[in-house]
């Protein structure tokens, strides 16, 4: 009888492993594993554990079965709320890898998969999903994440208010990330494709706030613990970052940390939005980029056509907006597209910036993924191309080396609007 019971138990465990790719000790993981940044030579895997310990990530080339580099070990402890980030390097571009997470000799999870990014010069199109504003209280179930996966996105970019926290207390910050990451559809999506993120006001700490917010260092700590970005700002300040995916480079700005904290680098008589260090980083990164399309993304919108009395948008800092547009023209930066979120409306605008940037700049706003719409945010603008209020929406960006296509997609699979931007329209006329 004992032998029979043991055999039945073994078969049950094997069946679980075969179907889910997880071993019997997967209860050690409370959240994840999720895929963070995936470059053409490196990747990031994130997970949170139920108990402290040393956990090891091992990779193998899926096609050959050969190990990819040495196993990486990391400590899960109270200091980082038991979150672990592994950063394997020396990988091959556009390649599938299987990975295993172990505790000692026991596999915690096994048979999971990640794929590196294609080479920068790939002719094949890439697909990115952009979204913002996901409320787990209004939408405990969030099928918009499943929509993104069904739409074939290669990576997901979160523009903030993911989640809604409205506190800088470290325990609250951590708890709210755990709440969001517990959503079933999100867990499935972030386990399948890489995700990147910046914050906006609610996950930074308070609605419509700026960088004078007390306790923002705790918000930054929790953000870093619960994400897998390539890097997080410079000099231990801010969380801005960038990544390349084939013909697209995304520059994820931090429009909260530095706002109103110092004189502007473009005019010392007024306050800054980006701060001097982030401003210089952005200029240098744009100038160094060879990507046909350069997406400058943040939670904040780039225009002042917002609900009454809303202070947090780029037109509260028009000097830096104008200086950025002029820099695009002076440095001959091609392929720039502006992306924002925050306002609980989905919108497209185009600005007559040929005199400054060298070509007209398009702004694409995607919000919310899972929250209410704000009718008052449907503010008039002479530059408005499109507006809709949809509680569950995201933006699907498809790009090859010649054309970028942005679709505002609803959770039911319908498309609200399409913006098609040829690369040769995003450069100064000669």
Q: Which residues of 24-41 are buried (b: 16+ CB within 10 A; e: fewer)?
A: eebebbebbbbbbbbbbe
pLDDT tens digits along 359-381: 999 999 999 999 999 999 999 99
* Cis peptide bond upstream of 33, omega within 30: yes
DSSP letter at 257?
Answer: S
Is the torsion defined by CA of 316, 264, 319, 427 positive or negative? negative
The CA distance from 252 to 340, in Å, is 10
Among 293, 288, 282, residue whose Cα is nearest residue 246: 293
The CA distance from 147 to 140, in Å, is 16
Judge whether residue 6 has pLDDT over 70: no
pLDDT tens digits along 200-257: 999 999 999 999 999 999 999 999 999 999 999 999 999 999 999 999 999 999 999 9
β-pairing, 361-365 vs 293-297, is unpaired
In the prediction, which pLDDT does 7 show? 32
pLDDT tens digits along 286-338: 999 999 999 999 999 999 999 999 999 999 999 999 999 999 999 999 999 99
Averaged pLDDT for residues 132-161: 99
Listed in sequence order, the DSSP H helices in 291-383 are: 318-330, 354-357
User: Would you state the structure tokens that stand for residue 17, as one six-digit string?
Assistant: 């492993």
Give burial (CB, 10 Å; 0-12/13-18/19+) of 294: buried
Residue with tokens 């499935």, as numbered in its chain: 188
The strand ranges marked E within 94-215 are 96-103, 106-115, 126-131, 155-158, 195-197
First to last CA, the chain: 85
- Do 409 and 396 meet the contact criterion of CB atoms below 8 Å apart? yes
All structural domains of the chain: 2-115 (2.60.40.380), 126-425 (3.60.21.70)
């Amino acid at each position: 009888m004992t032998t029979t019971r043991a055999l039945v138990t073994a078969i049950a465990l094997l069946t679980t492993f075969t179907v889910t790719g997880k071993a019997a000790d997967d209860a050690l993981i409370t959240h994840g594993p999720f895929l963070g940044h995936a470059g053409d030579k490196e990747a990031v895997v994130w997970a949170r554990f139920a108990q402290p310990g040393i956990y090891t990530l091992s990779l193998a080339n899926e096609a050959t079965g050969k190990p990819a580099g040495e196993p990486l070990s990391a400590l899960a402890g109270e200091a980082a709320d038991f979150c672990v980030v592994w950063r394997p390097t020396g990988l091959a571009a556009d390649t599938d890898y299987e990975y295993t997470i172990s505790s000692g000799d026991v596999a915690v999870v096994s048979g999971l998969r990640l794929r590196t990014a294609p080479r920068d010069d790939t002719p094949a199109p890439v697909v990115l999903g952009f979204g913002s504003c996901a409320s787990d209280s209004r939408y405990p179930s969030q099928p918009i994440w499943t929509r993104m996966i069904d739409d074939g996105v290669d990576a997901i970019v979160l523009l903030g208010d993911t989640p809604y926290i409205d506190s800088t207390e470290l325990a609250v910050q951590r708890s709210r990330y755990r709440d969001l990451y517990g959503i079933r559809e999100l867990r499935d999506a972030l386990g399948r494709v890489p995700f990147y993120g910046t914050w906006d006001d609610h996950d930074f700490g308070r609605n419509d706030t700026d960088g004078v917010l007390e306790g923002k260092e705790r918000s930054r700590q929790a953000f870093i613990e619960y994400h897998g970005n390539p890097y997080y700002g410079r000099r231990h300040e801010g969380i801005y970052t960038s990544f390349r995916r084939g013909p697209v480079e995304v520059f994820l700005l931090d429009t909260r940390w530095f706002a109103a904290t110092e004189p502007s680098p473009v005019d010392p008589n007024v306050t800054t939005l980006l701060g001097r260090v982030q401003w210089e980083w952005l200029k240098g990164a744009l100038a160094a980029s060879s990507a046909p399309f350069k997406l400058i993304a943040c939670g904040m919108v780039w225009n002042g056509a917002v609900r009454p009395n809303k202070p947090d948008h780029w037109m509260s800092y028009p000097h830096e907006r104008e200086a950025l547009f002029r820099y695009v023209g002076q440095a001959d930066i091609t392929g720039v597209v502006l992306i924002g979120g925050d306002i609980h409306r989905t919108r497209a605008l185009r600005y007559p910036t040929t005199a400054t940037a060298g070509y007209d700049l398009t702004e694409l706003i995607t919000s919310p993924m899972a929250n209410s719409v704000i009718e008052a945010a449907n503010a008039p603008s002479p530059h408005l191309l499109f507006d809709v209020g949809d509680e569950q929406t995201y933006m699907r960006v498809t790009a090859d080396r010649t054309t970028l296509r942005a679709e505002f997609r609803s959770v039911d699979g319908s498309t609200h609007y399409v913006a098609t931007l040829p690369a040769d329209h995003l450069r100064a006329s000669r």
